[in-house]
Chains A and B, each alone.
Chain A
Amino acid sequence: MLYRESGQFKSTYGQDQQIFPILQDRIAMVALLLVAFVAVPIFGDQYWLSAIITPFLILSLAALGLNILTGYAGQLSLGTAAFMAVGAFMAYNAMLRIPHIPVLGAFAIGGLSAAAVGFVFGLPSLRIKGLYLAVATLACQFFVLWAINRVGWFSNHSSSGVITAQRMVILGYEFVSPASKYLLTLGVVAVMALAAKNLMRSETGRAFMAVRDMDVAAAVVGIPMMHTKLLAFAISSFYCGVAGALYAFCYLGTVEPEAFTLDLSFRVLFMIIIGGVGSILGSFLGAAFITLFPILLNFVSKGLESLLGIEMDHAMVSNTEAIIFGGLIIFFLIVEPNGLARMWQIAKEKLRLWPFPH
């Protein structure tokens, strides 16, 4: 009843190719952006902004990067955290060593450095596929982390390997409060998400999906294998690199290489599995789920504690979390392999018919 397309005709291909062809979707999107850019920073609780919403946005960006590589281009990668680490440390070094560099420029350098690393570790994808490639990305993950730890240059020769992100000043305005950091992150993520959506619905996206679905056929159609795979690695790593830089500057503040372990790579992988591989929206949904779920679990355990008087220590909660996460992964793979994004699509389909049953 509310979500009807009747009366909305498309008379040009341009109209047909819009990201949100249905008017109601466009209105909803504008409303969402208004809320995100205006309402949240004004009314938002400081703690939630700095501890939950900002990291959610950052991890969405990383999930987006991984989705481009694994979801769209079909190249399984377990090295996401390593690319984020490169982005973080190189952004730090750019701010440190290049005088007067704009903050966004430093982030871009972080992203480009990560893209370069991604390019190099993506070279094996030309010869190896699937699981073997995953092992190659594991090599990347462990090697990069070791290198950042050992090579003093990355952390400006600090003895502990820990770096402290510098102040961020754009056009004279310093980003210090949680609300301002949130807005900076939101801006970067929104722009990059739009760019990703545009890329994936044009020839690049089609080439990625072709390589994922059947690479022999893709070659026959004229899609250049090497070029496409390496591009996927580079773009994906760029996104992860910028996410890493944001992670350091807008969230953590002080960063050590141990923040970017294999565990983080798995978390991002879980985000795209649960959220939906091959879907921009899915990256956000998955990130939201994985960020909010531990909080929910904490809530429940505190509730159980007071209700039943059981003592639940931290280890118990985090182990339960692991069990439930693993269980959810298996559950989603069995029930809805295309994740929350597909469930959302199905819900919208049902909404188009509502209140009629069919």
Chain B
Amino acid sequence: MSERAAPGEVVLSVEGVSLAFGGVKALQDVSFDVRSREVRAIIGPNGAGKSSMLNVLNGVYHPQKGKIRFKQKEFVDMDSHEAAALGIARTFQNIALFKGMTVLDNIMTGRNLKMHCNIFQQALWVGAAKREELVHRRAVEEIIDFLEIQHIRRTPVGRLPYGLQKRVELGRALAAEPELMLLDEPMAGMNLEEKQDMCRFILDVNDHFGTTLVLIEHDMGVVMDISDRVVVLDYGRKIADGNPAEIKKDQKVIDAYLGVAH
């Protein structure tokens, strides 16, 4: 993996991205940038195209027009596997965990790009394969400690309540030691305490590991509190871009949320 960008330097920029599904225009000519180590929020009313934007960044959808530039490299589109290899990790709105596996195994899958032993070494479980497995187990245990989920490490993920599943998904994204993390509504469906915990984790990740964060969130309080800059989407177009204080006062944003016809 290449060197991390210096703080403040633009690490990701999106230029003129347009995405359509048949007749539905999910994104129209959206451009913005993200600076290293910042917390960038994407907000907007429902259906504005926020998740689609994240999916484009992550290689799940391929835009018809526009470019993505990540750390000096330009992509018209990339596939999700490439994105992961480049250091982009992701959580999903509807939780994309592997329901049949335990919490420990789920987070371990986040380490897969760092594991290099071949199948013969794994089958024998000696020497290099065993060591590698234990080294990564230790790294994963640190994440489990960080997220305070030790008590459920052997529970199959499908049995956990929603809030804990979201935390496990965050853990899996962290396990990849990503440079950029895309969080899709990490606090959806949580009560106040859970939200506070999640905020704490997210800010710790940003502080401690220096990870750049792009997050979609509906809770305005959270967005105003933790983000450095905000992009506002409405009907697939960008209508505002700036720091939280500016966005709060922007008339276009207020109109969009209040549903004023435009």
A interface, CB within 8 angstroms of B: 12-14, 17, 195-196, 198-199, 202-204, 206-207, 209-210, 212-214, 216-225, 231, 235, 278
Contact yes or no, A217 B92, CB < 8 A: yes
CA distance A237 to B59 in the complex (A): 32
Of B79, B84, B129, which is within 8 A of A202 by CB?
B129
Can you name 9 A-B pairs with beta carbons within 8 Å?
A14-B130, A17-B134, A195-B124, A198-B123, A204-B122, A206-B109, A207-B109, A219-B80, A221-B112
Question: Does B241 reach chain A (CB closer than 8 Å)?
Answer: no
Which residues of chain B are within 8 angstroms of A212 by Cβ–Cβ distance?
A: 98, 100
Given contacts A214-B96, A216-B96, contact A225 B81 (CB under 8 A): yes
How far in angstroms is the closest Cβ of chain B from A20?
A: 13
Contact yes or no, B122 A203, CB < 8 A: yes
How far in angstroms is the closest Cβ of chain A from B131?
A: 9
Contact yes or no, B130 A220, CB < 8 A: no
Centre residue among B59, B80, B85, B110 by max chain A CB count within 10 A:
B80
User: Which 3 pairs show the lowest CB-CB distances between chains A and B?
Assistant: A222-B84, A217-B96, A213-B98
Q: Select the stretch in B113-121, B202-210, B254-262 that faces chain A.
A: B113-121
Chain B: interface residue count, which band?
35 or more
- Produce 1/0 per residue, B123-153, CB < 8 A to A: 1110001100110011001000000000000
Contact yes or no, A206 B101, CB < 8 A: yes
Centre residue among A12, A213, A218 by max chain B CB count within 10 A:
A213
Given contacts A17-B134, A203-B115, A207-B112, contact A224 B81 (CB under 8 A): yes
Dominant secondary structure at the A interface? helix
Contact yes or no, B85 A199, CB < 8 A: no
Which residues of chain A are within 8 angstroms of B211 by Cβ–Cβ distance?
A: none
CA distance A203 to B137 in the complex (A): 11
CA distance A209 to B97 in the complex (A): 11
Contact yes or no, A216 B112, CB < 8 A: no
Closest to A224 in B: B81
Which residues of chain A are within 8 angstroms of B98 by Cβ–Cβ distance?
A: 209-210, 212-214, 217-218
Question: Does B237 reach chain A (CB closer than 8 Å)?
Answer: no
Contact yes or no, B134 A220, CB < 8 A: no
Given contacts A195-B123, A220-B84, contact A13 B109 (CB under 8 A): no
Contact yes or no, A223 B133, CB < 8 A: no
Of A210, A216, A224, A235, which is within 8 A of B109 by CB?
A210
Contact yes or no, A13 B137, CB < 8 A: yes
